[in-house]
Amino acid sequence: MDGPGGRIHLLEQGTGPLVLMVHGFPVTSYSWRHQLSAVAAAGFRAVAVDVRGYGRSSASGPVEAYRMTALVADDVGVVHALGEETATVIGHDWGSPIAADSALLRPDVFTAVAMLSVPYSPWNAMRPTDGFARLGGSEEFYVSYFQQPGRAEKEIEPDVRGWPAGFYTSLSADTMPPPGSDSPFFVPAGAAMRDRFTGGALPSWLTEQDLDVYSAEFERTGLTGALNRYRNVDRDWEDLAAWDGARLTRPALFIGGALDSSTTWMADAIAPYPTTLPGLVSSHILDGCGHWIQQERPAEVNALLTKWLHTVHS
């Protein structure tokens, strides 16, 4: 469908109250394949979008076209284009802050929000790139590594099957590096990010056919649109300064993986949920689970999501 920001491609199943699912990096709407049928069967209209810059959605425009306020506008545009006034929004990875900010900036449209892997963290006074620059000592944090246009593309785009596969594998519970290993999130001087990826077999949740779907999309689109999300962290910080310390009051759900760096590094964001997420219905940390929660543990995630959806729509 076409909206103010261009074309947004989506997958849809079921009828009932609208549930909008927003993916992260580096996947597509296909990452919600297990949830679409489960949410639809539970009595909802399940919709998974390709975020701007991914898949079959628009992937043009300058870097600033991928700022958070534009992606929130895309979410609102999808809801209205589907003939609805309100929706529940669910996000994973980068999709989690997109979902959270959609509910924060447009609570009139997004009446409940679920966040997977990346916890809600209110705006604070530190410029993001300044904070990232302090991490890692002599090594470069991956978000900093992604900042320069073309740099990460030069590493990833010659191998849009192998690079994502290495990234998925390195962050999956059954194939991630053992504790104490060098982190794939930090890049030594003169090295590539993939130098620290786990090799070997794919994680159990990812088939060669699944990888075919992801790699075919990135072969066609490239990675610039996807990486431009990271290149807007300072613009987002400037755009959202008026929401300094804002509480997210809509009914909320959080699901994290116990082995996911997003959960362990951001434990200080989870602890104050009673204050920052006063509408929190429930929060769950899945033992032995990595970053790709809804793909690694589809049955558990589906059960938690559908229970929560019925709670907030009762």
Q: In this structure, are strands 140-141 and 110-116 parallel, antiparallel, or unpaired?
A: unpaired
Handedness of CA 169, 201, 220, 9 (dihedral sign): negative
Report the C-alpha dihedral over residues 191, 197, 198, 200, rounded to 10 degrees: -90
Distance CA 160, CA 149 (A): 17
| 291 catalytic residue (yes or no) | yes
The tokens for 180 are 């104490």
- Of 23, 22, 150, the closest CA to residue 89 belongs to 22
- Contact of 100 with 113, CB cutoff 8 Å: yes
Helix H segments across 15-122? 33-41, 68-81, 95-105
The tokens for 131 are 């904070």
**Bridge partners (DSSP) listed for residue 141:** 186
Q: Which helix (H) or strand (E) covers residue 274, if one does?
A: helix 273-276
**Residue 280: helix, strand or coil by DSSP?**
strand
| 93 catalytic residue (yes or no) | yes
Catalytic residue among 93, 210, 239, 260: 93
Catalytic residue among 50, 101, 239, 291: 291
For residue 26, whether the previous peptide bond is cis, meaning omega lies within 30 degrees of 0, is yes
- Contact of 141 with 186, CB cutoff 8 Å: yes
Catalytically active residues are 93, 291
